[in-house]
Chain A
């Protein structure tokens, strides 16, 4: 039983990482009705930036916010350069472009940083604390705390500030917002920047667990897809809860299901995606799309 709880807690920790990346996906989906296939690769690239900063002797807690700011700027830059010219194009075009972006960023990271896996430092000690008989590593606790703070920050930004309100308005009613003087296109860019920064957190959190290399996020993005689909792809809260459920499910499946484990855990992610899409395409918190014809 104790082992079961330990698996659940480490599942919550990894689930927090999935939740951050899933939230990044939801932010962009809400802004322009698009799943950003490059989200994982952008997070991977930001993690490499953090790695480079720390390697230059910068302390972890200074490199972390600097990376987030750079990721924010990078997200805005990508939106301006690549997405803006096709803002009104069909979804098919946009998805192919984000896929091209994913391939490009992946190759670019390999080009600059190479394909040798590197170990990434974690600011939290690897020791465990005894909490009512369940041993929880400080690392897991740190990951849960950081992810929780980021998710809370995004929630406050979107729900409690004027910028957040404007961003939501621009996403849901672009025409009306434009009439009220909102610069819709820049709000979309802001959404991309925010998503990029939130995604970067997931990359930096997961890098000490996996090893840092250009294909690091390839499996994480599948879990994030699963989390976003499970939660309902337009619901930020759903993404967080979906992330936690996926994290715990995958961890428990790896530990207790015979034959699952190692790289086949990823198949659990695929199974979740397909099961949700068949049984409840709008996810747990999504609303059925109603269209006027």
Chain B
């Protein structure tokens, strides 16, 4: 055990630090802040799903907001109409959404990424009107109001022992979301390191070559779509729980764009990327909303426009700039910076000892 710990690469320690940080975070921030961070973590789950599809298997979906809506409404309808415990509805909604995604992936097999992007974009645009129609089931424009669960005694007692105050349901939902996020990030990490991940990357980088090596192209494309819908489903289900209601306007096209922004900004085809990207994409409009009215030099009439248009403009600019200048997102920039620093430091010591670093071409 000890040698393994001592030899663990730095990124394992980063994971430990991140987990401890997120576990302890609600004890130092307000209950309302925890609710926001819960939603950011939930968004990270959906972005992770999208990242498996876009980053690892090279297919583009612009409609993952629709799968989130499906997960959220499945849970909400089960909990509201059939009086099920909401926590029990989460796995049902997740599996159901995953199955639908798997079926939606079937036509995707024979389509180029372009057509898939087109079809899923249309799906995202149509979703709000599709939800509004069956009013008896979905509550129409009003949506469905959900009852947030109280934390169980053991969690509440533990939390009270640490902070001295009782746990609110927002904080309980935060921990549920954190648990799901950790589990799903761990699953994703294992997935991409093993056979399915290698197969997906192979078909992303060269479909014909991958097929020649015996990768089941159709199978893995559908699998990737199903898995990413599965992630979106659990995210949607948790999202309904965290916001306390679901309505057609919870799932506009801009949600799907926000997911894509999260995936691209954080870094495609990386595991920490979706977490960083989702936190960024979630808090950008919220922080902008608070920042803009606080600036006295912006006139009031302009401020409301800036509040409305600001996130769209900044999302757009970011998508373009990152795709042109930093296709690997935040994670890519951090990695490049780390490598540069490492080489600077190592290069300096090598020169002191009189040893030149080996020529990269001969290694």
Contact residues of A with B, CB < 8 Å? 33-35, 37, 82, 85-86, 89, 91-93, 95-97, 99-108, 110-111, 114-115, 218-219, 222, 225-226, 229, 259, 262-264, 266-267, 269-270, 273-274, 277-278, 281, 293
Contacts and interface: CB of A to CB of B under 8 A. Distances in A.
B327 A103 contact: no
Interface string B125-144: 11001101100000000000
Contact of B316 (A34, A92, A102, A262): A102
B128 to A, nearest CB: 8
B107 A278 contact: yes
Contact of A97 (B107, B121, B123, B324): B324
Contacts of B316: 100-108
The A interface is mostly helix, strand or loop, or mixed, namely helix
B19 interface: no
Interface stretch (B180-188, B292-300, B305-313, B334-342): B305-313
Contact of B305 (A103, A111, A225, A293): A111
A293 B207 CA distance: 11
A107 B305 contact: no
A250 B155 CA distance: 55
Nearest to B316: A104
Chain B: number of interface residues, binned into ranges: 35 or more
Given A110-B305, A222-B126, A99 B312 contact: no
Contact of A229 (B110, B118, B306): B118
Contact of A92 (B60, B122, B319): B60
B317 interface: yes
24 contacts: A34-B114, A35-B118, A91-B113, A92-B60, A96-B319, A97-B319, A97-B324, A99-B257, A100-B316, A101-B316, A103-B312, A104-B315, A104-B319, A108-B309, A110-B308, A110-B309, A111-B310, A111-B313, A222-B125, A225-B118, A269-B122, A269-B126, A270-B125, A281-B110
Interface of B: 54, 58, 60, 62, 107, 110-115, 117-119, 121-123, 125-126, 129-130, 132-133, 208, 253, 257, 260, 264, 305-306, 308-320, 323-324, 327
Given A218-B253, A259-B133, A100 B320 contact: yes
A229 B111 CA distance: 12
A259 B60 CA distance: 32
A95 B120 CA distance: 13
B13 to A, nearest CB: 33
B122 to A, nearest CB: 4
A193 B63 CA distance: 29
A103 B315 contact: yes
Nearest to B106: A278
